[in-house]
Structure 1
Amino acid sequence: MLSLMTSNPPSPSPSIFKEKESLSQLPSMATAASYLSAVQQADSCAHTHDNPHAPLTPTFSISSSVTTSSEDSVDEDDDNNTCFVNPHTPPTSEQVFTTAHTEFGHCANEAYRCVSKHDYTKPFQEHTIEEPPCYVHFATYISFLILHMLGHLRDFFGKRFAKSHFTHLMPHNGYAPLNSSFDSFVLRRLKRRMDDCYAQPITGIPGRTVLVLDRYSPDYNHTQIYTGGNTRALNISSYNYLAFSQGRGSWADAVAESIRRYGVSSCGTRLDSGSNDLHVSAEALVAHFLGTEDALVCSMGFATNSTFIPGLAGKGTLIISDELNHTSMRVGIRQSGAEVRIFKHNNMSSLESLLREVIIQGQPKTHRAWKKILVIVEGLYSMEGTLLNLPKIVELKQKYKFYLYIDEAHSIGSLGSRGRGVTDYFNIPPGSIDVLMGTFSKGFGAAGGYISGPKTLIDALRLRSHSGPYAEAIAPSVITQVVVSMASIMGVAPAPQLTKSTLFPSFDSSIVAPKESAAEFPGMAPASMLPTWMNLCPSLTDGSEARTRMRRLAFNCRYLHVGLKKLGFIVYGHAPSPIVPLLIFNPGKLPLFVRMMRARPIPIAVVVVTYPATSFETGRVRLCPSASHTKEDIDIVLRACDEVGGILDMKHGSCERWGIDEVCERAVELVHSV
């Protein structure tokens, strides 16, 4: 049993960017290197304990949280056997988990917890865009101007004097080019220059840390050469919000058992042998989880929007869409054939004025009343980190009588005291929403998506949407992960044993949650909704571990968001959001930020976003904390951003600025101030 010898927070490490300073001269570098080496040895030892014949592989890393109370002693216990490596064995908490430190950091300090819910004593914070100084915009536009001028000049002369490099953009052997040089300009002249920052190959589980494969490019990212090495980095860029994507524990055990029982993949579409009792159980569980009558699952999140929306709308229907809705919704809206109108992002005044106009004017040419009006929005916007103003939009819905479709791809599981998304966060009955859509690839650590709502609607979508009769069913192993994750959030209540015919009817019907559950969120999931062979550990059946994860996620999100603002950065979105967009603006700084973060004493893996996912002038790094991160992990990220942001001149925020040490010391105060 090892214990943490000090409760003082670590001192800030010196800059690694000072000139004429070797790695050996930096004590923090040496300490980090020896520490990570010790962690790797410990994890290798644990790996061989699980499988003594397996080769040693580099897994698992960085320390767990440094807690601020003396009673938070730490230990590491894996199946009641401890692998000691002195003197740098990574600390863990008093709690005993079956996961390794790279997947889930252990933090026993209850002060680093927060409940995700809306405070109705404060007004909803409208989405405001904070502008940087004028010289930042000027430099950004000049950068893009130079990029376009030089890029188009290179294309012009290259097509005439270096035709072999432009064959795919010119007529060749009687074939027309697949795309024009103009269409592919951004891809070739901007994205390719920093492909090492966009497409970082990893191996293993994207948990608290991630193992990035080392590579280099001798030809400006036209090709990448792998060195055979890898780098363990702190992962602040994955959508694994509740850290349910794990290699060990009850989730992994249940998935392994499903593979033994059902095989690796599905064997057909929803209308043949592809569906089984797991899919019916999952649909019943989703409906119970959301408090709706019925639900339908789909094997792909993108296809959930793009194939189900055409089944909801058609000719004579008006769709009103937020201007920043995801591409999957835009594709589905185009395929529906309905009329489309756009309102300003999350602006309820713009939505109301548009509703008044379209209701008064009616359909084009005939001015007849619309057959139906469908408003499509997101619960949490993936590029902006903004929350939907649900109370206001529900008020407008009652006033103007439209149907409401909410995409909860990023909000389900990550928002609300019970993890039920934006309706739970704002404590609004889910029956107020007509259609709830979400995915399993973020909060649940799986893949696929769902549509939930009234049973009559879901029954119609089973037949009318392309994903119903034609798409592949979700693989049993994946749907098992969904069932276990969702059940662990709700908790499992014992229930009378039902017969198979009662619990699992034929696959083309559905299990319907009790009608009274549509008015409010139901409690624990009945044990009868889970397969009989699925045995969960007590911390999952009572929901305690999932509640801890949700509270840790809420703390980490708020701390990172508010901490960055206090350091002087421009940050978009709302504090409860697990997506924290840190604005960089200038395209030349995007790859530099990623590479400098990767070169830290403790490497940090981040991703950047620019045009066409955002506007030209609002390039950003998108940080995604998860429940697996400890308070110390967020400290590391904040210190790195503070140093790198100072070097790259990124601190243009108008908020009152604090020093990094003050931010780390007053973290709990910051979190509870929002």
Structure 2
Amino acid sequence: MNSDFDSFYTRRLKQRMDDCFSRPITGVPGRTVMLLDRVSHDNKLSFNLTGSKTRALNTASYNYLGFAQAEGGCADAVEEGIRRYGMSSCSPRLEAGTTDLHQQAEALVAKFVGEEDAMIASMGFATNSTTLPALVGKGCLVISDELNHASIRFGVRLSGANVRTFKHNDMGSLEALLREVISQGQPRTHRPWKKILLIVEGLYSMEGTLVNLPRIMELKQKYKFYLYVDEAHSIGALGPHGRGVADYFSIDPAQIDILMGTFTKSFGAAGGYIAGSRALISQLRRRSHATCYSESVSPAVLTQIIASMGSIMGISPPVPQPALSDPPKSSADVRGEMYVYPGPAPASALPTWMNLPPQLKDGSEGQTRLRRLAFNSRYLSRGLKKLGFITYGHVDSPIVPLLLFNPGKMVLFSRLMLARKLPIIVVVVGYPATPLISGRVRFCMSAAHTKEDVDFILKACDEIGDLLDLKHGHVKERWSIEEVTRRSGELVQMEEVE
């Protein structure tokens, strides 16, 4: 059942640092988080809660826009939604689980991402794993980035389609593979593929890298394949309007065949969506197991999705009803449903009973959150590089991986961050999620963090980096921690860190 190496790794390394994983929390995972303290008396085989709690600065949650909060306009809307709809729809979508909230949420998602229609699923992992078998099957080919998420891999296996992988974000490797599979066709028969589907992620959560979407769109025009973009980590977190990688690269999302995303990161909710053409989504509603068998998304979660997404978009004022003497208008004009991507959402896109505060309704707070997240991400990434650390990923990624390499340093880094006067919670990642010698710590930035929070994280990393000998990055001129915090604005505005 297990190889000798797996047994050795589990006993000699993984078990000894289990206190760094699966830490139990209570309350909202916002800017800070409340840890439930625990101890182990059997060498980390089991843990016992002590009854005490520790408040820590949270850099471990995918709370990109800071909507994971128990108070504010979105939380008030959710409370009202629970009063009106209860806690569950109590049925799959295709039976009796579809409410007006589901239809409004799907229409709003389609407007948000710039597609004709959208379908919502109750679990992010299941969004991929149940949709892909409904899209491809025997005789189809899936081309997948080698670092795609496990939900994509699982869905492809369930589909029965052939699968080929290319080197992570390597467009040369991708084009060479496209030439090969198109010219050779299916194995043995060499018949043309029924369908070729390229699957990539917008933002890769382990690497912090962005997909090279402009180059992929060029290849799509040349080789005529279908494109599936997983925006679980990029939707809401990237682009001047928060609409993901298409918004970031100024590409028309209608040119992308299928957009997938989740609500668990930027929107403080749960579940995921698939967006595309109206004909495609209609077919998926009939064929996807997520709509046939799984429980529909609960009304409270739908309300959070609508409120948070609407506050990012901003809500346009309602269109006044025409007087009897006025010339007739189209029904779309009367309902205020005319929408041009990526403009504000029409007033009819929100339930009539949802009353958001003015700063959420006009989109000003949403824009502030987007700008704050962009600043925090750039500041931490470039600050770490200037201090001498080796980091992965794109400068605008809210996920900042800091390379530790030595597996033994992962446990020390995590414990030392937690042991500070103001504890800091970090995610350390090692084998098998990464290669054995590519262990890393991932900082997940949020709009809820302040500049002072990022200053504190950089100071902690600077001290621990000296202690654990982690500063091996190649940078033309290293800065001291004082210089980094003092020149943060200049650092963020730099073209690139030399």
TM above 0.5, yes or no, is yes
Deviates more, 1:657-666 or 1:320-329: 657-666
Taking every aligned residue pair, what percent have the same amino acid on both sides?
65
Q: Which aligned pairs between 1:504-515 and structure 2 lie closer than 5 A?
A: none
Give the 5 Å matches for 1:79-478. Answer: 186-478=9-301
Q: Which has the larger radius of gyration?
A: 1
Question: What is the identity, as a one-letter code, of the residue corresponding to 2:352?
Answer: T
Cα distance per residue 1:353-396 (max 9 Å; x no partner)? 11111111111111111111100000000100000111110011
Deviations 1:201-237 (A, max 9, x none): 1111111111111111111111212121111111111
How big is each residue's C-alpha offset from its partner over 1:532-586, in whole Å with a ceiling of 9 and x where there is no partner? 1100010011000010000000000000000001111110001100000001011
Matched AA of 2:490: E
For the pair 1:490 / 2:310, whether they are aligned, the reply is no
Residue 654, structure 1, aligned to residue 474, structure 2: yes
Q: What is the deviation of 1:272? A: 2.2
Residue 494 of structure 2 is aligned to residue 670 of structure 1:
no
Tell me the equivalent position of 1:612: 432
Query: AA paired with 2:60?
Result: S
Does the CA-based 8 Å contact 2:384-2:458 persist in structure 1? Answer: yes
Amino acid at match of 1:341: R
Does residue 479 in structure 1 map to residue 296 in structure 2?
no
* Alignment size in residue pairs: 482
For normalisation by structure 2, the TM-score amounts to 0.94
Q: CA deviation at 1:266?
A: 2.7
Contact 1:497 1:528 in 2 (8 A): no
| C-alpha separation in 1, matches of 2:421 and 2:6 | 40
**Cα distance, 1:187 vs structure 2:** 4.1
Aligned-pair CA distance for 1:493? 1.1
Given the alignment of the two structures, is residue 625 of structure 1 paired with residue 448 of structure 2, yes or no? no
Superposed CA offset, 1:425-467 (max 9, x none):
0010001100000000000000000000001100111011111
Counterpart check, 1:590 vs 2:410: yes
Secondary structure of 2:62's match?
coil
1:351 partner SS: helix
Q: Which amino acid aligns with 2:370?
A: M
- SS of aligned partner of 1:274: coil
**What is the rounded CA distance, in whole Å, between the counterparts of 2:109 and 2:190 in structure 1?**
40
The alpha-carbon deviation at position 469 of structure 1 amounts to 1.0
CA RMSD of aligned residues (A): 1.7
- Which letter does structure 2 place at the counterpart of 1:575? V
Q: In structure 2, what is the equivalent of residue 25 of structure 1?
A: none
Match of 1:109 in 2: none
Deviations 1:610-644 (A, max 9, x none): 11111111000010111011111101000000000
Partner amino acid, structure 2, of 1:492? I
- Normalised by the size of structure 1, how large is the TM-score? 0.70
Q: Which residue of 2 is the match for residue 4 of structure 1?
A: none
Q: Hey, what's the Cα distance between the residues in 1 that align with 2:10 and 2:395?
A: 33
Structure 2 counterpart SS, 1:404:
strand
Cα contact 1:496–1:528 (8 A) shared by 2: no
Structure 2: gaps spanning 5 or more residues: 322-330
- Measure the CA separation in 2 of the matches of 1:291 and 1:590: 41
- Separation in 1, partners of 2:8, 2:149: 23
CA drift of 1:184 comes to: 5.4
C-alpha separation in 2, matches of 1:452 and 1:185: 44
Using the TM superposition, give the Cα deviation of residue 497 of structure 1 relative to its aligned residue in structure 2, in angstroms.
7.9
Q: In structure 2, what is the Cα distance between the partners aligned to 1:571 and 1:496?
A: 50
Query: Which residue type is aligned with residue 533 of structure 1?
Result: W
CA displacement at 1:522 relative to structure 2 = 3.3
Report the Cα distance in structure 2 between the residues aligned to 1:355 and 1:452, rounded to whole angstroms: 25
Distance 1:464 1:226, change over 3 A: same
SS at match of 1:492: coil
8 Å CA contact retained: 1:570, 1:652: yes
Partners of 2:154 and 2:409 lie apart in 1 by: 32
Q: CA deviation at 1:658?
A: 1.1
Q: Structure 2 matches for 1:8-47, cutoff 5 A?
A: none
1:634 aligns with 2:454: yes
- 1:189 Cα deviation (Å)? 3.9
Distance in 1 of aligned mates of 2:243 and 2:178 = 29
Q: Matches of 1:412 and 1:484 in 2, distance apart?
A: 16
Residue range with higher mean Cα deviation, 204-213 or 185-194: 185-194
Q: Tell me which amino acid in the other structure corresponds to 1:640.
A: A
Residue 541 of structure 1 is matched in structure 2 by 361
Judge conservation of contact 1:283–1:296 (CA < 8 Å) in 2. Answer: yes
Q: Counterpart amino acid of 1:582?
A: L
- The verdict on how the C-alpha distance between 1:566 and 1:474 changes in structure 2, with shifts beyond 3 A counting, is same
Question: 2:241–2:342: 8 Å Cα contact kept in structure 1?
Answer: no
- Aligned residue number for residue 600 of structure 1: 420
Q: Deviations for 1:383-430, whole angstroms, at most 9, x for unmatched residues?
A: 000001111100110011010000000000000000000000001000
